[in-house]
Amino acid sequence: MMRFFSRFCGAAFLLAALGACSGGTGHGDVSADAANEVSPDAVVDGTPDVPDAAPTDGVVPSDTPPEADAPVELVERRFAFRAIFGLSMGANATLIAARHPGMFDVAGGQGGYLDYRYLGHLVRDRAFGGFCPMEQILANLDTIDEMDTPGFCGPVKASEPYEFDWDFNNFVYDFGPTEFSRSFYLDVFEGFMLLYGNFFSYNPDNPLLPPGVPLEWHQGTSDQQKCSQPYHVGKPFNFNKEYNPLGEYDLVTVCDGENPVGCKDGDPTRCGEDNPDYLKLAASYDPAYPHDRPLSFVLAVDYNGNGRRDYAEPIVVNSNERWDDVGADGCPNAREDGQGGCFADSVPHGDGVDVNGDDFDLLENRRGTEGNHLYEEGEPFEDLGLDGVSKDVSGVADHGEGNGTFDYNPNYLDAVAKDLHTYFADTPQDEVQAIDWEFDGGIRDPLSHLTSNLHLLVPFVERGNELRTYDDFAGRPGTLMPDTTCGGVMDFLGTFDWSARGIGKNVLIKYGDPNATPAMLEAGDGKHVGDGCQIVNRGVVGYAIASWRWPEPLVKKESSLQGRNVLATFYSSSLQDRRWFSITLPPGYDDADKADLSYPTVAFLTGHGMDVTSTSYTAILTSLFMAQGNLPRFILVAPDGQCCKRRLSTGQRLCGCLKIDNQWNCVDPTCQGPHESCSIEIVPGNDLDEECNKGNFYANQRVDRWGNTDASTYMRYEDGVIDLLDWVDQNFRTRAPATYQVPK
């Protein structure tokens, strides 16, 4: 994915910097007088534009902006002069802000899975679903490994806004500027299992592996052997209510991954990106090809006994006890009495209309509990443990069986306890409100990050927090800037009212044009990354919100466009190793006459698979806007989001490896001095393996790819981000925290 992303995103940023995306209707540059002075109140000339409130969508109602002449109430607020944003995987920036109160004033999640309740449903029920009932699969064993077999029932149809159809054999593919290959998805899904443990099954002996799979086999068997000779799991670990209720079939480990994307019989017209079906093929499972990527966290039922997963054979999901998702009233619609209770089973009732009004709808009834994919107290459940099979049949009581309470997989519960949904629901309001929050999501994002964010923000809004939603950045009623074009947003950075009073303290932007043309879709409108203009706006809008809300912003218009970019390493005590980072110092930072100035800090966390060099385009753009006086000046920091490596020839762990000029530059991990004092070795790429899956989610990990549980003591990537920001404070002129009187 990131090969596409880096190439496309870089071009988009440069085009934007050159004005190729421009198309604003007005304000242009700030006046020379205003731009050359620093003012705590109004740094730029002109009347700020106050956007019309976005219409409510039933989930996160927009608040009407205050009247222009309304009295301004001042309150005391402490500013850390630090903000943190992240794209896709980097949206975990918001979790870092939540877990470090007082450290950040503004936090932004641009895409990303931040609601693990929704992520659990997406993975368990949809991305790894679509399988027929057991009886139907067994009735079609003769075609079980054919793509058109009647024994496979996918896809699982989308049921919520901004979702796509999914099933395990056909992941959602994108046909825009980003590449959603099958291996990319598997890396992401497995990455979450490394963070919190296996969602699909619970193994008290190892947080990653399914029960019955020995750690010794996982660690001592090559990927090639894992795929040519899958491991068989029998009783008592093979039971599953839906697909193996009597334990009569073995479960087998699974291999998957990239297809040769249509290169059957060596036909070059069906190979690679020149094939018009490339992206669809790249995200689908084709049984005609061998698959060489082991999936460490799942097992499949081997109905035909051939020792491997065939096309229609299901992935086993033992993630929770079975329950009827009929709502907290305990009644399916057909038995509801209209008073919040139930008729007796023997009493017929209507046509199944929701007379108790408890059907969940993300847009219309977010308080509904029936059909929300979450267990609610009062819903009937089977107290038979995670496998759904009685111990009288399996011979063993698995986790939760017979304890009188409903049970989820403990790994999943641990993840939910640490997600942003739980933070918004349970954290004291003064702590939540100490941060200004910014979120976005594409209406066509195949990862459904916008849907995830809508779920995430339900408890936020339910507790009375202000959240203003916008239907894109510009160009239509209900958008952030309805009177300009997407490209025109950049023309207004210095004159727009970015304050909480102007656009809302907390913001959600749903980017993408519902009426996009085929050409717009091809360019990526509303997709995971967005088109060129949306890519730019996703970055700079967050920067503008943060930098214009800090008191006494430093704004100066100069002819020089130069900031200074530093690409180096520092020693992280949390990771016990060197770590690469990129830092962009604002224009004028090194000028002798500005040596007494200090600057706020903005941290930007990259997407999955990106390294710190991919932020160079962001640096060019922000330096340009700062030099023009359209953004206040700040220091931009980008930590490395890639995984630490293991050197195969020595077993040495290396966190300070970065690919530069197609060579891996690995810094001496024991060096604790300045970057310039450390030795760098060029290490062959085939001598390096990753301890996680390309992206570390900027989060502390529970286990590594090899199942080592002691990895939690050193795979502390979130703590490494904090180490970096502390190091930046010690080595650069960052602005110290201070308290100001500001508008409420």
The CA distance from 20 to 599, in Å, is: 30
pLDDT at 30: 27
The CA distance from 726 to 718, in Å, is: 13
Query: Out of 115-129, 233-247, 270-284, which region has the weakest mean confidence (pLDDT)?
Result: 270-284
The answer to whether residues 527 and 576 belong to one domain is no
Structure-token match 């430093």, residue found: 554
Q: Tokens representing 373? A: 């994919």
Cβ neighbours of residue 516 under 8 Å, at least 6 residues apart?
A: 525, 526
- What are the distances in angstroms from CA 580 to CA 577, 655, 657, 660? 10, 8, 7, 12
Per-residue pLDDT band at 231 (split at 50, 70, 90):
very high
Beta bridge partners of 688: 647
Q: Answer with the one of 521, 553, 585 that is the final residue of a domain.
A: 553
Q: Is a pLDDT exceeding 50 seen at residue 471?
A: yes
**Closest to 56 (Cα-Cα) out of 418, 626, 508:** 508
> Per the domain annotation, does 14 fall within a domain?
yes
> Per the domain annotation, does 150 fall within a domain?
no
pLDDT at 621: 86
pLDDT at 70: 65
Provide the residue range defining the domain that includes 731: 564-735
**Closest to 90 (Cα-Cα) out of 601, 524, 517, 638:** 638
Q: Tokens representing 451? A: 């849907």
Are 640 and 612 in contact by the 8 Å Cβ rule? The answer is yes
Are 506 and 437 in contact by the 8 Å Cβ rule? The answer is yes
> Per the domain annotation, does 433 fall within a domain?
yes
Query: Out of 85-89, 257-261, 531-535, 714-718, which region has the weakest mean confidence (pLDDT)?
Result: 257-261
Q: How does pLDDT run across 156-189, given as a tens digit for each residue?
A: 999 999 999 999 999 988 765 566 788 889 999 9
Peptide bond connecting 207 to the previous residue in cis, omega within 30 degrees of 0: no
Q: How does pLDDT run across 69-85, given as a tens digit for each residue?
A: 667 788 899 999 999 99
The answer to whether residues 507 and 546 belong to one domain is yes
Q: Is a pLDDT exceeding 60 seen at residue 361?
A: yes
Q: How does pLDDT run across 378-406, given as a tens digit for each residue?
A: 999 999 999 999 999 999 999 999 999 99
Mean pLDDT computed over 296-318: 97
The answer to whether residues 601 and 574 belong to one domain is yes
The answer to whether residues 636 and 695 belong to one domain is yes
Cβ neighbours of residue 97 under 8 Å, at least 6 residues apart?
A: 84, 103, 104, 107, 435
Q: Answer with the one of 524, 553, 582 that is the final residue of a domain.
A: 553
Q: What share of the chain is helix, strand, coil (3-state, %, to 5)?
A: 30, 20, 55
Q: How does pLDDT run across 558-617, given as a tens digit for each residue?
A: 766 778 999 999 999 999 999 999 999 999 999 998 999 999 999 999 988 788 887 777
> Per the domain annotation, does 541 fall within a domain?
yes
Sign of CA dihedral 334, 339, 341, 343: negative
How many domains does the chain divide into?
Answer: 2
Mean pLDDT computed over 250-259: 90
The DSSP-derived string for 533-588 is HHHHHHHHHHHHHHHHHSSS------S----EEEEEEEEETTTTEEEEEEEEEPTT
pLDDT at 173: 80
> Per the domain annotation, does 693 fall within a domain?
yes
How many CB atoms within 10 Å of residue 367? 11
The answer to whether residues 528 and 623 belong to one domain is no
Per-residue pLDDT band at 206 (split at 50, 70, 90):
very high
The answer to whether residues 589 and 663 belong to one domain is yes
Q: How does pLDDT run across 88-97, given as a tens digit for each residue?
A: 999 999 999 9
The CA distance from 624 to 601, in Å, is: 17
- Helix axes 2-17 and 532-549, enclosed angle (nearest 10): 70
> Per the domain annotation, does 299 fall within a domain?
no
The answer to whether residues 661 and 705 belong to one domain is yes
User: pLDDT above 70 covers what percent of the chain?
Assistant: 86
pLDDT at 265: 54
7 vs 278, residue with greater confidence: 278
Q: Answer with the one of 533, 553, 573 that is the final residue of a domain.
A: 553
Length of the chain: 744
The answer to whether residues 683 and 570 belong to one domain is yes
The answer to whether residues 594 and 547 belong to one domain is no
The answer to whether residues 541 and 594 belong to one domain is no
Q: Does an H or E element contain 511, and which?
A: strand 507-511
Structure-token match 């009886």, residue found: 135
Q: How does pLDDT run across 512-558, given as a tens digit for each residue?
A: 999 999 999 989 999 999 999 999 999 999 999 999 999 999 998 87
> Per the domain annotation, does 612 fall within a domain?
yes
pLDDT at 348: 65
The answer to whether residues 603 and 522 belong to one domain is no
Average pLDDT over all residues of the chain? 88
**Closest to 604 (Cα-Cα) out of 203, 87, 199:** 87
Tell me how many degrees the CA angle 271-224-610 measures, rounded to the nearest 5: 60
Mean pLDDT computed over 444-453: 95
> Per the domain annotation, does 629 fall within a domain?
yes
Q: Is a pLDDT exceeding 60 seen at residue 20?
A: no
The answer to whether residues 530 and 671 belong to one domain is no
